[in-house]
Homo-oligomer: A and B are copies of this chain.
């Protein structure tokens, strides 16, 4: 079978992409017919079957507009909207992310492709203020994605709540005997030493993103 689509089939495929991009729902067979100047719906059907055979689209039979583009150029990467809960590393407390997501609609969110938060489900985002993690390549203004966590292993980058100071900060976490060392990734800054009871881990670092201004 001719694997590389050509002519009419390529045209239909292209039309599919444009239509979906524009309208957010797939075209009907007759939409395709008009859009590609094809004389009969059966020709469209015929070529759609071909495309389906070649694995380029998937059709839900008996369902209006039940066409879905497959393959690298059709499969839309999943987008996740991550709630942006505030700013970190400069004093302000952040609210603990509630598992109750309902009613959050008015909150600011960042939309990212799902590979930024791979696998995780309750991810939240914080905007970084300051350069204390610069050597971990996290700059002022970057966005970090965290997953809720209550504990960490040494070396993890975590958002911690310092009870005595009433602030939240992003640091590397080291439990050293009877104390906890919160290590900035910035050689001009000193680590924070404190008692384990004074720290409350809020989230674990997943990934960071530098918004292109």
Contact = CB atoms under 8 A, between A and B. Distances in A.
Nearest to A105: B73
A8 to B, nearest CB: 16
A77 interface: yes
A46 interface: no
**Interface magnitude class on chain A:** 35 or more
A209 B116 CA distance: 10
Contact of A113 (B60, B79, B118): B79
Contacts of A28: 63-64
A35 interface: no
B79 A79 contact: yes
A111 interface: yes
Contacts of A105: 72-73
A25 B26 contact: yes
A169 to B, nearest CB: 20
A116 B212 contact: yes
20 contacts: A24-B76, A25-B25, A25-B26, A25-B60, A25-B65, A25-B66, A25-B67, A28-B63, A64-B64, A64-B65, A65-B65, A72-B105, A72-B109, A73-B81, A76-B76, A111-B113, A113-B113, A115-B211, A207-B212, A209-B209
